[in-house]
Amino acid sequence: MYVGRIMHTQLITVSPTTSLEEANILIRKKRIDHLPVINDSGKLVGILSDRDLKQYWASPATTLSTHELNYLLQQVIVEMIMITPVITIPPSTTIERAALIMQENDINALPVVENDDLVGIITSTDVMGVLLSAIGISDDSVRLGVMVKDTIGTLAKVSALLSEEEVNIQSLFSWPEKNYSGVHQLVMRIPKGDGQKAVEALTKAGYKVIESYTKDITPYLP
């Protein structure tokens, strides 16, 4: 999945000279968390988040009266506290790459730029939604984990084994166990009605199936 497929394109933006009070009203009214900042030439020059606003709000609030605080916020403009330079991505960025960029930079949104023009924005909530959809979480499925060696053909063997039992794999992903070199955990979502049949087939073939949380995974290692 690519960012261009799920990014928000109906953008709400502000100019660098927008007051913080106006920006705050806009964020609350539109129920959004980020405001791209566009200059008079239509170029992205910064980004303002709800988190930035809250931090600034809290800073002078302890020493000023309500009247003084409101006056101050009318004088402060977005340009003074916006984040710049902005980390951006093109629409061709994969969802997983976008998630990594957000994690590495401790940010929750990425403006999407194409040919120097702002064309969209994607948030951590959007990324999480896609990943959850890919995992296939639902009340009609069960989660099974199998520890395997990272070797050619492993996925094919597990898939073929369940196919022979007419068990549908609704979703499957793999991640490396960081403390065990060369070992991956395959995590599958199986229709709830076929859960036991899948466990029995995998166990018979020599796999040790993890059906729930276990603190010690060593008994399940291949």
Within 10 A of 188 (CB to CB), how many other CB atoms are there? 24
**What integer pLDDT is reported at residue 111 of this predicted model?**
97
The structure's pTM equals 0.77
Beta-strand runs (E) in the chain: 34-38, 44-49, 109-114, 117-123, 141-149, 171-176, 183-191, 209-210
**What integer pLDDT is reported at residue 68 of this predicted model?**
63
Average pLDDT per run of 10 along the chain, which is 222 residues long? Answer: 94 94 91 94 94 72 58 80 95 95 95 95 93 78 94 94 94 90 94 94 94 91 92
Burial of 6 (0-12, 13-18, 19+ CB in 10 A): middle
Which of 19, 46, 53 lies closest to 118 in space, CA to CA?
A: 46
Please report the domains of the chain, with CATH numbers, ordered by start residue. Answer: 3-131 (3.10.580.10), 137-220 (3.30.70.260)
**What integer pLDDT is reported at residue 190 of this predicted model?**
93
**What integer pLDDT is reported at residue 90 of this predicted model?**
97
**What integer pLDDT is reported at residue 58 of this predicted model?**
58
**What integer pLDDT is reported at residue 44 of this predicted model?**
96
